[in-house]
Structure formats: C-alpha cells, structure tokens
Amino acid sequence: MSKKSSAPAETSALSDVSIAVPSPHATAAANAGLTTEQRIELYRKMVRIRRFEERCLPVYNSGKIGGFLHLYIGQEAVAVGACSLMGNDDHVITAYRDHGHAIAVGMDTKPLMAELYGKVTGCSKGKGGSMHYFAPDLNYWGGHGIVGGQIPLGTGLAYAVKYQGKKGAAMAFMGDGAVNQGAVHEAYNLAALWDLPVIFVIENNRYSMGTSQERSSAGQLGKRAEAYDMKWYQCGGHDIYEVRATLDLALNRARDEFKPAVVEIDTYRYRGHSVADPDKTYRDRKEIEDYRNTKDPLQVFQKQLLHEKVLTDAIIEEIDLAARAEADRAVEFAEASPFPTADDIQKDVYWETDQPKRTSEGRIFFNHV
C-alpha cells in the first residue's frame, strides 16, 4: 500500500458520533437480500468516492486541475445507493457534481482523475472536465453544466426506453437549486403526461451555491410533484439503506407501470459549492460539524455494518488504505498522461467527421489564419 497520500482525511477514524444502529431500513425489501459482499461493495464505493475527491483537493490547489471542482463529499450514499439499484436498461444522468455518480456506476478512477487534469487519457479525452464525465457503456449520460438542463435529457432517456419496449427507468439527478428552473417543470409535465419511467432525484444539500433553500425556493421541493399528479418521496441521504429502500420503490413502479416520480433526498455537502467557494459567508461551521458528527454517510454505514458484523476493523482499514492507494494511482496515471494535441481540438465535434470517410461535402470547420 502506498503511504504517500496527501489527502486530508474527512473520516479517518470514527469520531464519537451519535448514530443509532441498526438502521430501520436494513430490513427493507431492497436491502434484506444483500449479500455480505454486496454490502461491503456499497461501503467500499462510498470510501473510494471520498478518497478520490479528497485526493483531488491538493491537486486542484497546486494548479494542476483547472476550472471548477464541485466536490460530492458528504453526499456519497445518494449516488452509491441509487446506482446500486440499476439494471441493464436503467440509465443515469446528473448535473455538474458528478464524480460520485461516475464512480458509483463503475467508472475507473484513473480516467476520471486524468479528465480533471485535462489529459487525453481522461474519460472525455480532456474535453469535458470535472463537470462533464460520461460513460454511455455504463448507462451514464453525464455530467451536465447548466443547472436543470439535464432533466429534459433524462426524460428523453426514459422516453427511449419505453419507446423501444424495454423494461427500465432513468434516474435524472439534480440539486435543490434546479427545481426553480423552467426546464425541470417542463420535463415533469412531459413525464407525467406521457407516463415516462423517469425518477427525478433531488439531492437536497440545502444550498444552491451560496443561497439556502429558505432563500431560494418556496415550499417543499418534492411536493411540487403533486401539481403534476406525480408520486413523490422524501428520504434521508445519510443512510444508504434508506436511499436504496426509497428509490427501489420508485424504480420498480417506473419499470412496471411507466410511472414517473420525484424523490427528494436530504443530504449535505461538507465542502463549498466548488473549491473556489471559501464557504465563509452563508453557513456556520457548526452546521457542517453537526452533520458530520451525526449523519456522515460513511460513518453511518460503517457503524451499521459493524453492527451487522459484516465489517471488521481490519476490513475497514484495508478498504481505506486501498482507496487511498487507488486515488494515488489515479494521480500518477494523470500526471504521466499527455495533454490532447492542437489537432485533437476539432475531433469529436461531429459524428461524421470522426468516421474514416465523411458523408457530407464542403467545409464544416472554419478556421482563422
């Protein structure tokens, strides 16, 4: 195991937390049948997300990652819980806080880190950056930068699934800030009107950038579903069993009855909106500490799995060290990779021009001298 990780630990050891076990959702249908290996894998994925993102921070601060870096730390149980329920014909799309979902659906962290570095070995060849991770082979459709803009796309994924006669559903993730965008409401209406199998998942981390929910949104966010005659659910995002239990109900209903739903998940981000956010003006440090001490999703699940005797201190240690080492290897991979070339700039723009032979004629790119 590598010992050189410079990642600041968010949860290196269990602090004295007041977390009740067992989880009341452990016996839910979605969770009761989980094997020991599956439970450990859920925990491992959450740890891998956190260690990956913690490792991103010093790299960002050293200037090697450009642009924005929106960290998911604190919200890991949502993406891992949701994506662990996916079948072959289920699809996922999300906004710009997309690292967690990428790892949750099974993307390799090396190309994820390389993408942050803008390297050609990145998952989008260095063309997308932090906000634009995609893995269509894993039914992961991004990674989108405009708040709420991905929600009609997610509705379209559900439309395609239904049109093609498949039994599947799309999960379209958004933050609490997105619920005020018109495109989201247009998508709600279409989904309900046409019985599309899409779950609109609101990851309510209480702040749309630096504006609290109280200062940006009237009423209960999930309840807006009622205006469209859609069922809605609310659950905690700190307990992965609760996330799974809730989304399992919504997903099964979508797959079996083509019924959309809104699922509002209460969660919390420990870091600023992006790393550029000093996070000093709009919330108390105590609020962050309180959440971390009582609802940290990694600690909650760790405690649960210790209670279940699925985890031991030795396994916890092994998972943690392996995740740190994996993050270090991702950095090494990214460091060693080349940037795209100037010639690469105009590749991947059109499907057509990426083929050996063009189908159209004439000039399709226009260049200055």
Q: Is 33 in the site for other proteins (CB under 8 A)?
A: no
What ranges in 238-296 are assigned the alpha helix state H?
240-257, 285-295
Count CB atoms within 10 A of the CB of residue 178. Answer: 23
Q: Which stretch binds other proteins (CB under 8 A): 224-232, 302-310, 326-334, 356-364?
A: 356-364
Q: Which listed residue (28, 106, 125, 220) binds other proteins by CB under 8 A?
A: 125
Q: Per-residue string for binding with other proteins, 68-97, x by CB under 8 A?
A: -----------------------x-x----
Whichever of 34 and 202 has its CB closer to other proteins, that residue is: 202
Number of residues that bind other proteins (CB under 8 A): 58
Amino acid at site 263: V
Restricting to residues 196-225, name those near other proteins by CB under 8 A.
none
Q: Which listed residue (56, 78, 82, 187) binds other proteins by CB under 8 A?
A: 187
Q: Is residue 176 within 8 Å of 147, Cβ to Cβ?
A: no
Q: Which listed residue (6, 180, 189, 213) binds other proteins by CB under 8 A?
A: 189
Q: Is 227 in the site for other proteins (CB under 8 A)?
A: no
Annotate 119-168 with DSSP letters as a single string: -TTSTTTTSS-TT---BGGGTEEEE--STTTHHHHHHHHHHHHHHTT---
What's the min distance (Å) between Cβ of 63 and other proteins?
A: 23
Amino acid at site 197: P
Q: Which listed residue (134, 173, 232, 241) binds other proteins by CB under 8 A?
A: 134
- The span from the CA of 186 to the CA of 276, in Å, is 32
- The span from the CA of 217 to the CA of 211, in Å, is 10
Whichever of 281 and 367 has its CB closer to other proteins, that residue is: 367
Phi-psi region of 41 (alpha: psi -120 to 50; beta: other; left: phi over 0): alpha
What's the min distance (Å) between Cβ of 329 and other proteins?
A: 21
> Strand pairing of 207-208 and 211-212?
antiparallel
- The span from the CA of 241 to the CA of 256, in Å, is 22
Q: Is 281 in the site for other proteins (CB under 8 A)?
A: no
Angle at the Cα of 315 (from 140 to 235), degrees rounded to 5?
Answer: 45
Q: Is 156 in the site for other proteins (CB under 8 A)?
A: yes
Q: Is 367 in the site for other proteins (CB under 8 A)?
A: no
Residues of this chain that interact with other proteins (CB under 8 A) are: 91, 93, 122-128, 132, 134-137, 141-146, 149-157, 159-161, 163-164, 182-183, 186-187, 189-190, 193, 346-352, 354, 359-366, 369
